[in-house]
Amino acid sequence: MKIPMVWLILFLFLISCGDKPVKDNPVPLGNGIVEFTMVSVSCGNIEFVYNPAWAETPPDSVAFAGDINKWALSAEGYIFAHPDDGSYRLTLKLVPGTYKYYYVLNGIPVKDMAQIAGKIMPPPTRYITNGDTVYAVLEVGE
């Protein structure tokens, strides 16, 4: 009688563990670092997007600043386009590597990229803190 009971318990355990939705939420790692799970970005043309909340006043300009452009706040080729859908979009050709960056709204750097995490794409691989600035980090694979 013990063997069927063990199988029943095992069966119930397996049923309760399966088919749970997997969410792509940030996981705090401590020391100001937050890591996202299931983020995979391949090299090539990568589109960066900023979607302001519907209730907030959209910025006049959005730019990309990071180690790829020597942290220039308004470098040519790093200004987001503003199509009619309300979003801001910038496509960059990236080779495999790790890129540290932040967005620049109306000429002012976003000093805490984690604060706007729900408004940006692709989701950063993780965030790192340096002084009072929380940078987004994107790891680009092959």
Rounded Cα–Cα distance for residues 53 and 56 (Å) = 5
> Taking the domains of the chain in order of start, what are their residue ranges?
22-141
How many residues are listed for the chain in this entry?
142
Is-contact 100 94, C-beta < 8 A?
Answer: no
Q: What is the pLDDT along the chain (142 residues), one digit of tens a residue?
A: 556 666 666 555 444 444 333 334 444 444 444 443 334 466 688 999 999 988 789 999 999 999 999 999 999 999 999 988 889 999 999 999 999 999 999 999 999 999 999 999 999 999 999 999 999 999 988 7
pTM of the predicted model, to two decimals?
0.69
| pLDDT, position 110 | 96
Secondary structure of the chain: what % helix, strand, coil (to 5)? 20, 40, 40
- The H or E element containing residue 119 is none
CA-to-CA distance for 97 and 100, rounded, in angstroms? Answer: 10
Please say whether the beta carbons of 113 and 136 come within 8 A. Answer: yes
The top-level CATH class assigned to 22-141 is mainly beta
